[in-house]
Structure 1
Amino acid sequence: MRALLEAAGVPMAVARSGLWRPIHPAHVLGIERALRQWGQSMAALGAVAAVRYPERAAVIDENGTTSYGELDRRVERIAAGLHADHKIVAGSKVAILCRNHRGFLEATLAASRVGAEVLFVNTEFAPPQLAAVLERHAPDLLVHDAEFAVPAGIPAVPSDLAALVASDASAAPKPESPGHITILTSGTTGTPKGAPRVPTAMGLAGLMASALGRCGLRSGDPMVIAPPLFHGLGLLTSMMAFFLGSPLVLARKFDAEAVLDQVEEHRVGVIVAVPVMLRRLLEVGPRDLPSLRVVLSGASALGASLASEFIERFGPVLCDAYGSSEVGIATIASSADLIAAPGTVGRPCLGSSVRILDDDGRPVPVGETGRIFVSSGLVFGGYSDGSSKAVVDRRMSTGDMGHLDQAGRLFIDGREDDMIVSGGENVYPVEVEECLARHPAVAEAAVVGVPDEDFGQRLVGYVVLRSPATPDELIAHVRGELARYKTPREIVVVDEFPRNATGKVLRTKFGS
């Protein structure tokens, strides 16, 4: 990877990061062995980190600290146990339903060693959603935290993985090809779909180069990764931490004051967070945090005012990353970008390109809004159900509308469709509307997103009732069936919906 970064023309960024140091000949042999064994995969990434940084802390969580060497040895035993005790082989599917702790990483790396597909499951799914997702994707094994009930018929093991670590089985066989990692996203109806990909060194090289150059990441700097690891932002930045040999500082749930405590205690250099988390950090009293050099935001609209307020409080440490589950991280804005061009999400990462196209697939002039299309080494090959996003000239749609300025910086102007992004999570109104409509008192339902300083957007439901029901009752109904982030914050009862001549509901008319 270092050679790829240097070939890409970013030697100074590599030098500043601390990666530019001689590699011991024994390490070279170990790295070559890992790549021969597991190819370009999560398994190889973890094994290479253990070769290069065996004594460095890899994970700091509720159970203490473990080194990269210790993590690698545990992963080896877990992989052997997965193969021997649960018959997991190349092509099997292992689902992971875990919050942020070492068990998530151990299960991911071990399943990758076997060549299995790893399916990351959203921990916010309500029980009916979880059951439906697992039935649809049919994993051969589920690794789960104890707080989550396992649907009947799903083979499962607890996320402490103690029994697998104790396995005395022989090492798992070498897989013929790397396994996929699959992030669950949502289709146009709101049904979660799998977005599989095989992470490669080439795919990560451009992102790493841009993160090193624009954000100033450094090898060995402890990183607090606050977003869920099953989320694209959390997963990609955890992979970056492995590459950098940086300790991942993890907690099962986000607490702003606890994060700042972690920064002080572990001399954290990097915080990864979504914008609503940044807002919570601002609400905590001022702290002197000399070790903190980078705060990387993503997964949701940052907003110019929040960026400005954060930089004023914490200094020019803030960077913003833009992308999606389908295209990975496409652009990064440095603090200098955020100051010079408020509202920007930055320039394309090295090896990526962004085009703004009209409805006919033709480029639009600078400054004019159009559909955003991206090419990069992180773009996926299509959903697991065979569908895909729109592609024009080998570039994939992100589903967003936006424009470029004269300096080549990207700005997001809205969504192509009605998708709502709340707190970094994608919500499609149809799914929530159908849930509301299943309540016996509801005749019709419509859900829209409205601006929210904390969450980017919040959900507001509009209903026409056939019998009496309170807004609190309807909110509780949705909360019982769907994930928390899909629950409207407000329900408004109306006599009728605004419609056009063909009877289509005009969502933009709500609240006007």
Structure 2
Amino acid sequence: MLTLSAKAGNRNNRSVDWTGPIGRVERTANLFDAAVTAAGRIRASGALGLVPPTRIPQLAWALRGGVGLATVLAAFAARFPDRPAMIDDDGPITAADLDRQVQRLAAALRARWDVRRGQRVGVLCRNHRGFVIAAYAAARLSADLVPLNYGFAGPQIGEVLDRERIGLLLYDGEFHTRIDESGYQGRRVVIRGAAGGLPTVAELVAAGGPPVRGPAGGGSIIMLTGGTTGVPKGVPRTLGVRAAGSALAGSIPGMVAALGDLAEVEPIPRLGRPMVIAPPLHHTYGFLAIAGAFLLGSTALVHERFDAETVLADIERHRVQIACLVPTMLKRIMDLPPDDRRGYHVESLRMVVCGAAPLPPWLATAFMDEFGDVLFNGYASTETGAGTFATPADLRAAPGTVGRPLTGIVDIRIVDGDGRELPAGVTGRIVNKNPSMFQGYSDGKTKEMVGEHMDSGDLGHLDAAGRLFVDGRSDDMIVSGGENVFPQEVEEALLAHPAVADAGVVGVPDDDFGYRLAAAVVLEPGARTGARALQRHIKATLATYKMPRDIVFVAELPRTTVGKLRRQQLPEVIARARADAAAAVESDSIQDMGSRS
């Protein structure tokens, strides 16, 4: 407004450029206004109570072990020792007790196998306190930590263990068979379940050892990619204050500018309250979520297996204000009978953070219609780091968006194959520049760079308001008859049909078109529909060339532990479904001929 006034008020056409100085004044005023608003929201969130003054000496003592992953829990225990750090399927465990077990396990691992910096420790277990005890103990010893995906098959696990040179593996007893199939020859410790003669975490915690005195630092966490296109890659991230400091270096002005983004967050949750953390803890999302809960002094509510009604019951029982979920979990909640969903009092919810997989537009709208405008959608990746964040207002205005990048910190652009920036509305490569970009995979390879920006491997577009839409993976795009088709768009259209519970689309070879679209569909329990009805549904919402020519019905689709579709396996799933359908027709025909004779 000030800039417009300056332009209008320069009636003498003087050569002095007033718009520049006044524009800077306007930006400064806007930033100050955003800072004031953000400060009010910080107070409203209860952030000022996250460090009780009477516990400052205990907090300072906890920091003697260095500033790293394990310190996050130690600091929680120092501030709120009697508050449950976690409530899992075994019940609550206080922050003090959880931290004590971490420290004793670290001491036992050092005493028994001299685990320290430079060694690599793998952790393979479901969502329970054992994951935190094992992972944080490894971090306390400055060892490199490798969280493993419990959805991997034995051979996949074996390739990762071998490539990442895992010397010690802590895992749940239910995975004995997979570890045997992996061919792993290193040391093993069972976290929970049948031990089979191996040492257990409980035994090591009971035994303990001389306390680990030296500060933690220099270790890494090696997060794994989803493995949807093959063997998962390792993405090393250095732990500790030095790594954080170097990542934030030069970002302070950007962080100040990002105050305007914070001022737009509505509603504001109360920090320190219990949080639902449903994503797998081995995944980047779940791993960061539980660390964030500890940092905020919040009790983490976790379960070994996701159950929609259990989550709603947790929200009601613990007056949860923040819930971390993935899209498939939102859908399972919405698949509950309406009377069951509405039988829980979840009015305490202020923020449902969704991420890790595509969120269908219809699902975002349906969830907010049911639970209020509390849904936030995030977009990031293990390699590129921070990405975008969509508020409920964004999702209402532009369903399907993943939001905007954090002002002054994340720079996302859409470019063509030659790296030239594309205008709003045009699909191209999503490239990202931010302080948290990785430095390369553990095998020495890296992602393609476009100048200072990293290619995410995704294709997408921006709208006129600067909101990002992810259209699909670069390697998922199907060229059929000369037309480009993104399978995600077709899947979202199929999922909007009331009879469809899940859907996956892929390109299969075709003599005439090069590739044609084929879909595998899972129906809702008790629902009935046919391929032609679904094709008519697609034609009513999308261009004709986007209609799958082949649609098969299956019991389930191959997905990762966070709900991402394993698209590489779809051709095999579709071929098997076709063969089963053909065999069923042949069997019916033989039976019919027999009855006639």
The TM-score range, normalised by the shorter chain, is 0.7 to 0.9
Is 1:58 the counterpart of 2:85 in the alignment? yes
Bigger Cα displacement from structure 2, 220-229 vs 283-292: 283-292
Matched, 1:235 2:318: no
User: C-alpha displacement at 1:35, in angstroms?
Assistant: 4.3
Q: 1:247 to 1:403 in 2, by over 3 A?
A: same
Question: 1:102 Cα shift?
Answer: 0.7
Aligned pairs (5 A) from 1:304-315: 304-315=361-372
1:490 aligns with 573
Structure 1 counterpart of 2:307: 255
Residue by residue over 1:141-168, the C-alpha shift from the partner in whole angstroms, topping out at 9 and shown as x without a partner, is 1111111013351311111420221123
Structure 1 counterpart of 2:152, one-letter code? F
Counterpart of 1:223 in structure 2 is 275
Counterpart selection for 2:72 from 40, 45, 54: 45
**Segment drifting more, 378-387 vs 355-364:** 355-364
Verify: 1:77 aligned to 2:104, yes or no.
yes
Distance change (3 Å), C-alpha of 1:375 and 1:177: same
Matched, 1:286 2:286: no
CA distance in 1 between counterparts of 2:264 and 2:214 reads: 36
- Matched with 1:267 is 319
Residue 147 of structure 2 aligns with an amino acid whose one-letter code is F
> Using a 3 Å threshold, how does the CA distance of structure 1 residues 261 and 244 change in structure 2: closer, same or farther?
same
Aligned equivalent of 2:206, options 166, 173, 177:
166
| 1:304-325 CA-partner distances (Å, limit 9, x unpaired) | 1110000001111111011111
Output one character per residue of 1:260-293: Cα deviation in whole Å (capped at 9) or x when no partner.
1222222222221111110110122232312222
The answer as to whether partners of 1:212 and 1:218 remain within 8 angstroms in 2 is no
Aligned to 1:20: 48
The answer for the alignment partner of 1:147 in structure 2 is 174
User: Aligned in 2, Cα 1:65/1:399: closer, same or farther, shift over 3 Å?
Assistant: same
CA contact (8 A) 1:125 1:483 kept: no
Measured after TM superposition, the shift of residue 246 of structure 1 is 0.9
CA distance in 2 between counterparts of 1:243 and 1:419 reads 40
> 1 CA distance for matches of 2:562 and 2:284?
18
Pairwise CA RMSD of aligned residues? 3.4
1:232/1:328 contact within 8 Å kept: no
CA distance in 2, matches of 1:374, 1:393: 10
3-state secondary structure, aligned to 1:115: coil
Identify the residue that residue 429 of structure 1 maps to in structure 2: none
Letter matched to residue 20 of structure 1? L
Does the CA-based 8 Å contact 1:100-1:252 persist in structure 2? yes
State the distance in 1 between where 2:60 and 2:419 align: 44
Greater relative CO, 1 or 2 (CA 8 Å, sep 6+) = 1
Relative to its length, the structure with more helix (as a share) is 2
Asked if structure 2 preserves the Cα contact closer than 8 Å seen for 1:461 and 1:492, the reply is: no
Per the normalisation by structure 2, the TM-score is: 0.68
Q: Does structure 2 conserve the Cα–Cα contact (< 8 Å) formed by 1:220 and 1:244?
A: yes
Deviates more, 1:113-122 or 1:48-57: 48-57
| Runs of at least 5 residues in structure 2 that lack an aligned partner in the other structure | 1-31, 193-200, 479-486, 511-519, 521-553, 579-597
Kept in 2, the 8 Å contact 1:302–1:456? The answer is no
How far does residue 175 in structure 1 lie from its aligned partner after superposition? 4.9
Following superposition, the deviation at residue 392 of structure 1 comes to 2.8
Q: Does the residue aligned with 1:214 lie in a helix, a strand or coil?
A: coil
Q: Higher strand share goes to which structure?
A: 1
Candidates 169, 173, 183, aligned match of 2:223: 183
Q: Distance in 2 between matches of 1:163 and 1:419?
A: 51
For 2:265, which of 202, 205, 214 is the aligned residue? 214
**Structure 2 counterpart of 1:395:** 453
- What are the ranges of 5 or more consecutive residues in structure 1 without an aligned counterpart? 1-5, 421-447, 465-470, 496-512
Residue 55 to residue 16, structure 1, CA distance change in 2 (3 Å): same
Equivalent residue in structure 2 for 1:296, among 337, 342, 353? 353
Asked if the contact 1:371–1:400 (Cα under 8 Å) also holds between the matched residues in 2, the reply is yes
After TM superposition, give the deviation of residue 218 of structure 1 in Å.
Answer: 2.8
Of all paired residues, the percent bearing the same amino acid is 41
Q: Using the alignment, how far apart are the partners of 1:405 and 1:198 within structure 2?
A: 35
Aligned to 1:400, the other structure's residue is in SS state strand
TM-score, structure 1 normalization: 0.79
- Paired residues in the alignment total 449
Distance in 2, matches of 1:223 and 1:22, equals 15
Which of the numbers 417, 420, 443 marks the counterpart of 1:359?
A: 417
